[in-house]
């Protein structure tokens, strides 16, 4: 068994535990915020003032109106990118404020 196999097994065990204890739903906002910050770290995150996630909707408050308009045009790409990073279709919509 390789190190990668060991890490995958640990990840599977943790995911199973989170699902069975229903903690996975409570951790969704944390996972989504972390994904946003990781994927948008240099280009968008510095202009992000607040991130909320509830009922499949990611709400992102931005400090730049120009950036808000640009991200709105790329909304579906961002949803696909975020869901791909998260490994499941968690985000159904994004609202840029």
Report domain extents, the chain: 28-96
Q: State the Cα–Cα distance between residues 71 and 44, nearest whole angstrom.
A: 9
Q: What is the SS3 assignment for 54?
A: strand
Q: What are phi and psi of 87, to 5 degrees?
A: 80, 10
CATH number assigned to the domain covering 28-96: 3.30.300.20
pLDDT beyond 60 at 22: no
Local confidence band at 80 (pLDDT 50, 70, 90 cut-offs): very high
Buried b (16+ CB within 10 A) or exposed e, 69-93: eebeeeeeebbeebbebbeeebbee
Q: State the Cα–Cα distance between residues 36 and 58, nearest whole angstrom.
A: 10
Q: Pick the more confident residue, 19 or 70.
A: 70
């Amino acid at each position: 068994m390789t190190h990668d196999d060991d890490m995958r097994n640990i990840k599977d065990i943790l995911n199973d535990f989170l699902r069975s204890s229903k903690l996975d739903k409570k951790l969704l906002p944390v996972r989504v915020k972390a994904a946003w910050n990781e994927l948008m770290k240099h280009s968008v995150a510095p202009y992000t003032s607040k991130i909320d996630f509830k009922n499949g909707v990611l709400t992102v408050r931005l400090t730049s109106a120009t950036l808000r308009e640009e991200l709105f045009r790329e909304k579906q790409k961002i949803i696909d990118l975020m869901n791909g990073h998260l490994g499941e279709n968690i985000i159904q919509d994004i609202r840029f404020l």
